[in-house]
Amino acid sequence: MSIWNEVVRHRFLPSIPTLTAFEAAARHQSFSRAAAELHLTQGAVSRQIRHLEEQVGLELFERVRQRVVLTDGGRLYLADVRPILQALSDATQRAMTFAGGAGNLHLAVLPTFATRWLMPRLPDFLERFPDTTIHFVTRIAPFDFSAEPLDVAIHYGDPVWPGAICEHLMDEEVVPVCSPAFRARHHLNGPADLAGVTLLQQTTRPHLWSEWFAAARTSHPGPFRGPRFEQFTMIAEAAAAGLGVGLVPRFLARDEIADGRLLELFDCPLTSDKAYYVVYPEAKAGAGAVNAFVRWIVATAHAAAPR
């Protein structure tokens, strides 16, 4: 980049304090409230806004009685500035999590797997590796490890992830469940009895009921009909509340089945051809925290698998 381009770029690059003052003033519709939030004087905020208006070449605020209101141009500018400030804040927070170095682990999880299976077992890992801090984000689909600051992921599907290693955790058996009262009310004694009840559908697996009926060698007039839910935890709760019959992975509904809130209907599990995997980039194979977590979760999952 030439020196001239650098000069032009900096000419159109307001300072962060100036943009922060602008965003706060727009949010509060008040220079004085923005000043109180930012621990500045009202005059300092007013000068920053005036300097910004001179820099962009238009008025950003109109003064109306005791408050300030964004102009049309100010609203358009704010719509661009807010995501930039949020992205900068997010980037700073992510950088701060690396302060401890090798003891930090950034983990992408599937929400239901994390809450129902991983969290109850995690104290064991932290007791074994007390110097490790795990940071969680949700990811439903595979992503590019080189483009995101993540170390490990929990994945459901096939053991295919470009540039990464997949290690098997567990297979999945999906079972039909409902509340005891729902079963008694609808006299559910076999798969054919489901023809007249509400089927709770999983949004990301729309063919699940169709596959289950095929495995149970039973036909159904509308296997795709019924309310849709994004997560299996929601289906389990809806089934426990008596809203219908849900298909859920058996290991994710064990607590509800054990305490009697749910019944596993029939002895007709559907074994998926997909499975759960722990995934990590090839470049981090053998790395301290990554290796410790991978070895732990694989051993824990295999120990918990039914014999």
Give the distance from CA 193 to its chain's centroid.
Answer: 36
The per-residue pLDDT for 93 is 59
The per-residue pLDDT for 63 is 86
The per-residue pLDDT for 45 is 92
The per-residue pLDDT for 3 is 44
Residue type, 117: W
Yes or no: say if 166 and 277 are a contact pair by the CB < 8 Å rule.
Answer: yes
Q: Which domains does the chain have, with CATH numbers?
A: 3-97 (1.10.10.10), 100-171+274-304 (3.40.190.10), 172-273 (3.40.190.10)
The per-residue pLDDT for 165 is 96
Length of the chain as a residue count: 307
pTM (predicted TM-score): 0.66
The per-residue pLDDT for 12 is 67
Instruction: Pull the structure tokens for residue 31.
Output: 């220079």
Segments in the chain below pLDDT 70 = 1-12, 90-102, 306-307
pLDDT tens-place string over residues 182-238 = 999 999 999 999 998 999 999 989 999 999 999 999 989 999 999 999 989 999 999
The per-residue pLDDT for 1 is 45
